[in-house]
A and B are shown apart, each in its own frame.
Chain A
Amino acid sequence: MLKTVHRYEQTAARLVVEGYPDLSDGQEGDTIGILSAWRLQLVGAPELEGTRDHLEAMMAAVMPYARHQLSGIGARFGTNQSFVGIEAVGGKHQLQLRSSREGVKPLQLLLDDADLADLVRCLDRLRLDEKVKLQWTYPEDRPLARKELVERIPLLRRLGPAALGGLLLSFSAAMALLLPLPPRPGTATSVDVNEPGSRIINETK
């Protein structure tokens, strides 16, 4: 059986997947139903390669990360134990790749926004390619919860308006306490007028 190779290229990234059609599933020709290997070349980084598990882990980490980036959230995706993890570090994106071999240190790549977009486009093409019949497991793109979006706003900006409102309310209350009360009905009050020597006595009964 001939090995099938599909390439997905985007400016600074090239993803190559190799595999065979799954004959038991009725696949034929250049369809890939069994992934044998993959390679990812990113400009300025060593070539990455691995098995289907590694590629699935990359898809599961990078796709939701890209979705969250759109909403301005740079949280980490992929646990410390998973093959691939990605998080925002100093305005860039740190991709961490863990080898399945014992004693191999994790590889860390720092991607800029353009590299991330290239990688996402390559993965998009792979998952949408009708000739690659593989099931990818990553969360569906959904609107984020309000709680997640609120957390990206700095505490000062989030609580600032409420604190300012509270401060203004306290100030108004304090000012109101300092103002003299109006005279009570039934008490005699004197009112000064501008004319010298005149005085009005106001008596209420």
Chain B
Amino acid sequence: MTEAPSQSGVRLSRRGIEQLDLLLLTAEALDLNGGEAMLWTSHQLGLQDRFPNRVELWKRRCHNPLRRITRRDPLDPADAESLIALVCAMADRLYPMLHQLLSTREPEQLTQQRWELLRERLGDLIEERMNLRRSAVLHLLDPATNAPTHHRLVSTLALVAGPGGINRLRAFLLDPTP
């Protein structure tokens, strides 16, 4: 099990917050009961003081500038660290599904159907929660161009799953915008 964050936290850029929220959204798309699972996992990590309920968790995620309802103030570094730990713990829980999606040994037709289901669910969540006037959001919804983005999100979750992925994910989220 991924442990609660020990670091004081990092100040994430706008791009970092976008990626973090998208990874959480992908985890939700993979898990039908994702919202509850996320809260339960955060409590397992000992983050109940930071995220006592779904509303508090949602408020932290609203720092994503692509959201329909967005908060302009910067994300607290301790909150960012908690969300990073949460992504890694969720990826750990969902790892068998991530593996199935990424494995080339799975039957091709079955893999395609799994990807299609993920695309559908992720698309629904994006339409429901993101600002559809933003070009980045429209790009995520465009079926002609979003497949590599979905693949990147799933493989990112697979590579940061578990406690060993926390430092990797933090470093990735702190990458400068090219």
Q: Write the residues of chain A forming the contact surface with B, with a CB cutoff of 8 angstroms.
A: 11-12, 43-44, 66-67, 69-72, 112-118, 120-121, 123-125, 127-128, 140-146, 149-150, 152-153
Contact check, A44 vs B105: say whether CB atoms are below 8 A apart: yes
Q: CA separation between A146 and B178, bound complex, in Å?
A: 6
How many residues on chain B are close to A (CB under 8 Å)?
Answer: 30
Q: Main SS of chain A's interface residues?
A: helix
Chain A residues, CB < 8 A from B167: 140-141
Residue pair B155, A121 in contact (C-beta under 8 Å)? no
Binary contact track B145-178/A, C-beta < 8 Å → 1, others 0: 0000000100110111111110111111011101
CA distance A112 to B95 in the complex (A): 15
Among candidates B169, B171, B178, residue contacting A153 with C-beta atoms closer than 8 Å? B178
Chain B residues 89-139 with CB under 8 Å of chain A are: 95-96, 98-100, 102-105
Shortest beta-carbon distance, A91 to chain B, in Å?
Answer: 10
Bound complex: CA A124 to CA B3 (Å): 14
Query: What distance in Å separates the Cβ of A6 from its nearest Cβ neighbour in chain B?
Result: 15
Q: Is the CB of B163 within 8 A of A124?
A: yes
Q: Are A67 and B172 in contact (CB under 8 A)?
A: yes
Question: With A and B bound together, what is the CA distance between A140 and B167 in angstroms?
Answer: 9
Contact A127 B160 (CB under 8 A): no
